[in-house]
Amino acid sequence: MRILTVCGAGVGTSLMEKMFAEQILTAAGIPAVVDNADIGSATPNGYDVVLTTSLFADLLPATTAQVIIHDNLMDQAGLREKLLAAVAKEA
């Protein structure tokens, strides 16, 4: 499983989402590589899932990866639900 988190500069939201995703996946026993990037250099091809906010979702290059939109960084339960559902689709 390969996951890419994306935000404007690649050092704020995407880094937090990366850490949250790694925690969720580790707790669920799901092996994954989670990377983060800024919207200008994000290359989602080669990833199974892209995690971003609604602000950047429409700016992503075309991809076959599942795109998860998650706007509330504090809603880790919501992120867990979305992320585990996306992983289940890939299995």
Domains of the chain by residue range: 2-90
Rounded distance between C-alpha atoms, residue 6 and residue 13, angstroms? 8
Q: Quote the pLDDT of residue 10.
A: 66
Give the chain's residues under pLDDT 50. none
Q: Quote the pLDDT of residue 49.
A: 96
Rounded distance between C-alpha atoms, residue 40 and residue 75, angstroms? 26
Nearest one of 49, 73, 74, 75 to 63, comparing CA atoms: 49
Rounded distance between C-alpha atoms, residue 83 and residue 91, angstroms? 13
Regarding the domain with residue range 2-90, which homologous superfamily does it belong to in the CATH classification? Response regulator (3.40.50.2300)
The pTM of the full predicted model, rounded to 2 decimals, is 0.91
Buried b / exposed e across 53-65, counting CB within 10 Å, b at 16+? beebbeebeeeeb
Q: Quote the pLDDT of residue 26.
A: 96
